[in-house]
Amino acid sequence: MGEFAGRSIEVDVTNIAHGGVGVARHDGRVVFVADAIPGERVVARVTGDSKKSFWRAETVSVVTASEFRQPHVWTAASIDRDPADRAGGAEFGHIRLDHQRELKRQVLAESLQRMAKVTSDVQVEPLPGDDERGGTGWRTRVRLHVDDSGRAGPFAARSHRVIPVTELPLATDELSAAAPLDQDFTGSDHVDVLAPSTGGVRLIIGGKKAQKRTTITEIVGEREFRLADAGFWQVHRSAAQALTKAVQDAVDPARFDPAAHNLDLYGGVGLLAAAVADRFGPATKITTVESDAIATDYAADNLAEWIGARSETARVERWVSDLAASASASERSRLARATIVLDPPRSGAGRDVVASIAALAPAQVVYVACDPVAFARDVEFFAGHGYTLTALRAFDLFPNTHHVEAVGTLSRG
């Protein structure tokens, strides 16, 4: 493909693909075009990672603009810049916010239809305050990468080249004001900037010398969750609260048994286990399983008030498989009445984990998904074991990016 790299082509963008890129055709070949909107005609530059079967390209200029195009929310990522110099991390920032959600809806609905043969009219719901701010000011965590000269900034879109910037419009006001965009970090790999619910902004400098872990506190509703400063937490300032409520609503109370062997898989520091226990009472039995031992330790503390809650450190795929193989008859009875909350990484649960969960025969699975294609694939795997997608909601936890979160309920029988 080297002979085509750098070639300029003029194409009509017809629809959106997973990953937030537009889809076009040129001389019969599919072209995935970044920074374009379906309905536009653009001039795009073919990139070096194109394949024989398809090309990748980056929009250089717009010939016919979509009615949904707007000035980019981040000047560092604007189409006015050469593609190589555009900051990454806000790939939908040139699209009007309501249409961003429509494109995300399309990707989710089309993935479910294509992969799982499920028809859905799901809508992508905004989080409080995002419309008023045009989808900016929501990130509580930002990673800045450091180049050879010590400058910190985001990577360029679709590359590992650091782009110096003077603003971080997706970050909360507190984080944005404290971000060290003009400091020298020579000798470091990256700098994480985070603004927890309490305690103010802090930096975690990554390099050869690991920075000592400290504990932070995040507040969700009336609850506090303790976790490591470098540990996983939802990035959007309102996401933890939104997912707490969404998971609580997704559990069908007619199928929920607080005395069953309820599970929270890929449970982190216990946020969603706490959501379930909060809804169904302090006697709720629920086990959270997480491979990160540090997170599991925090989960044990965060769930201490629920006498039936416990935390396990294990790889989910192995733990569930072992449980399915070793459960006694009485244990299988408790599992058959169980609700399982499943919040896998972006790659999804996968065939083997779904099969192991299905072998437990729980009454329902509440699936929290951050990737629509992986989610649709897993819905199809669950269908093969007799589980039907009975409820689905989607949330715009990442405005001005292509990412979307879904919460689905899968019921047996």
Active site annotation includes 164: no
Are the beta carbons of 405 and 138 closer than 8 angstroms?
no
Contacts of 211 (CB under 8 A, 6+ apart): 204, 205, 230
158 phi-psi bin (left φ>0, alpha ψ -120 to 50, beta other): left
Q: Which token pair is 350?
A: 């996968």
Q: Quick check: 364 and 411 in contact, CB under 8 A?
A: yes
CB 366 within 8 A of CB 341: yes
Is residue 384 within 8 A of residue 356, CB to CB? The reply is: no
Query: Which residue is catalytic, options 21, 73, 271, 370?
Result: 370
Here the tokens at position 290 are 């997480």
State the DSSP string of 207-232: ESSPPPP-EEEEEETTEEEEEETTS-
Q: Which of 104, 107, 61, 51 is nearest to 81 (CA)?
A: 61
Is 266 part of any known ligand binding site?
Answer: yes
Alpha-carbon span 248 to 55, nearest angstrom: 43
Q: Is 49 labeled as ligand-binding?
A: no
List the one residue out of 242, 284, 241 whose CA is nearest residue 262: 284
Residue 248 counted as an annotated binding residue: no
Give the DSSP per-residue string, 39-68: T-EEEEEE-TT--SSEEEEEEEEEEE--TT
In the structure encoding, which two tokens stand for residue 379, read together? 């819905």
Give the single-character DSSP code of 91.
T
Residue 24 burial (10 A CB sphere; 0-12, 13-18, 19+): buried
In sequence order, what are the residues at sequence separation of 6 or more whose Cβ sits closer than 8 angstroms to the Cβ of residue 64?
40, 41
What is d(CA 127, CA 263) in angstroms, rounded to the nearest whole number?
A: 27
- Which are the catalytic amino acids? 370
Binding site: which residues?
234, 266, 290, 343
- Output the known binding site for S-adenosyl-L-methionine: 234, 266, 290, 343
